[in-house]
Structure 1
C-alpha cells in the first residue's frame, strides 16, 4: 500500500512540474523572440550600410530596443470592443491593405478561429 501511495505521489509531482514548465514557457514567446532576433539582424545589416551619423544612432537605439524587449501578450481591442490576440504570435505581420486595417477589422472575422486563444490549435480552429 505504501508503495502505491509513493508511486502515485511521484506521478502527481511529475504532472504538476510538467504543467508548470509548460505554463512558464509558452510557444508564443518563442515566436516573439525569433521575431526580435530577426529584426536585430536586419537592423545590424542596415547599420553597416549607413553613413549618416543621425541614422546610425537611430538604428543603434532600435537594435537596443529589440534586444531588451520581452515577450508579451498583445491584445488588439477592436472598435466594437472585441479583443483579439492573434498578433501575439503573428507579430510584425504587415497590413493586407489600407482598406482592410487589422486594427479595425481584426483577423478572426475573415480567418475564423478563437481570437482570444494563445494555443495554436484552438486559435486556428483546427
Structure 2
C-alpha cells in the first residue's frame, strides 16, 4: 500500500511539469540580423497589444503568447511583408482590440467616442450639481 501511495504521488507530481510550456520560439527574443528590419519589427511590436496582459505591448510583455507574436512579426518582416500587411493579418486574427490605435470606424468608433461621451456626461452632472449649490 505504501508503494502504491508513493507511485501515485510521483505520477501526480509529473503532471504539472508536463504542462509547462516549452521554450519561446527562436525569433521571440532574438533580434533580426538586418538593423532596418529589426527597427521596423520593434516599431510594430510596440503598437500591438498583448492579448494576455492587455495593458502591455507585445514588445514589453513576457507572456508566452506575446513571445509567439513577436516571433511571428519578425518572421513576416524577414519574409518581406510590410507593417500594414502584418498588422492587418493580426487584426483579422485577433480583432481591432489588438491594436493600440484601433480604426475610427465600425466597432473601433465606439472606442474613440466612449471617452468623449463619458467626459461630456461627467461635465453635465458636475454642472447640474454646481447650479443646485448656487440656488
Whether TM-score is above 0.5 comes out as no
Larger gyration radius, structure 1 or structure 2: 2
**Higher percent of residues as helix:** 2
TM-score (norm 2): 0.31
